[in-house]
Amino acid sequence: MYKFIDLFCGIGGFRVALQKQGMECVYSCDNDPFVQEAYKQNFGEKPDGDITETPANRIPKHDILCAGFPCQSFSISGNRGGVSDPRGRLFYEIVNIAKHHKPYILLLENVKNILTIDNGAAIKTIEEKFGEIGYDLHKHVLNASFFGVPQSRERVYFVGIRKDANGEIDYSQPKETRKPIYLENIFEKDVDKDFFIYRDDIQILKDPLAVNYDLRPIRIGIVNKGGQGERIYSSKGHAITLSAFGGGVGARTGLYQTEEGIRRLTIPECKRAMGFPSKHYVSEGMQGYQQLGNAVIPEMITHVWNSIRVN
């Protein structure tokens, strides 16, 4: 049985995926107390807190290192400080742990902007640091919309393979499934009226009945001036990228045309749009939306793992 660690674990997207593959999680960490409680509710154990306070030799031996390392310093909504940002520098904790334990495989996820920070200097540093400690790093930008998840969510997935395992472990880019799943397939019924918007500045710019099904968000209208969080999308397409932050009347989820009216997504719908089981626990209110917006999609990790071949 392969053993893995779950760094910056969030609500456990990596763990959901790899436990289904029969693997054992031997360590987890996240310094957000709300996340720690959610993780405990789901997996029966509370993650460690600040990884900088845990020496590498105190972390159990493992075969696979998983990390959705903090993305705020790399994302559009962050300050894009890259590895020089204190949050970006948490990347070096991954390097130190990998150097000490030498797991066979690294599974990492981050926002695609990580590839262009400082004109590519950040990703060059990341590749160099992993190379120095003995890993070949493969990376692909994948959109969840093309892998059976009804959300447009582009992320970079990294697979690091220990150089001395070349020939024994191979990796190729996951193949898109193009599974026909749409928002209307995940909508709840009898949603509370607080999720709906009733405003006189709603503009429907495209006939919802004339829209064809598509594996992408399909904008059909706007509220106010149509800024972030003020765009309305069809139920025949996909959700926009769920966000931990953001403003506007449709903050964090976007706005969608349903049979009952225009509204935001509920927490259960966001779970479905992230591919989490309905019973997966998240905090209530905005904390729950933030946890889902920061999460790693389990289905994507499954596709990445299934593209790794151990000879």
Q: Active-site residues: which are they?
A: 71
Decide if 62 contacts 4 (C-beta within 8 A): yes
Q: Are 251 and 261 in contact (CB under 8 A)?
A: no
CA atoms within 13 A on the CB side of 124: 6
Query: Taking Cα atoms as reference points, which of 302, 305, 278 lies closest to residue 292?
Result: 278
Q: Report whether 70 contacts 115 (CB < 8 A).
A: no
Please answer whether residues 211 and 220 qualify as being in contact, where contact means their C-beta atoms are separated by less than 8 angstroms: yes
- Which amino acid appears at position 157 of this protein? Y
If one counts every other C-beta atom within 10 angstroms of the C-beta of residue 208, the result is 17
Reduced to 3 states (helix: H, G, I; strand: E, B; else coil), residue 19 is helix
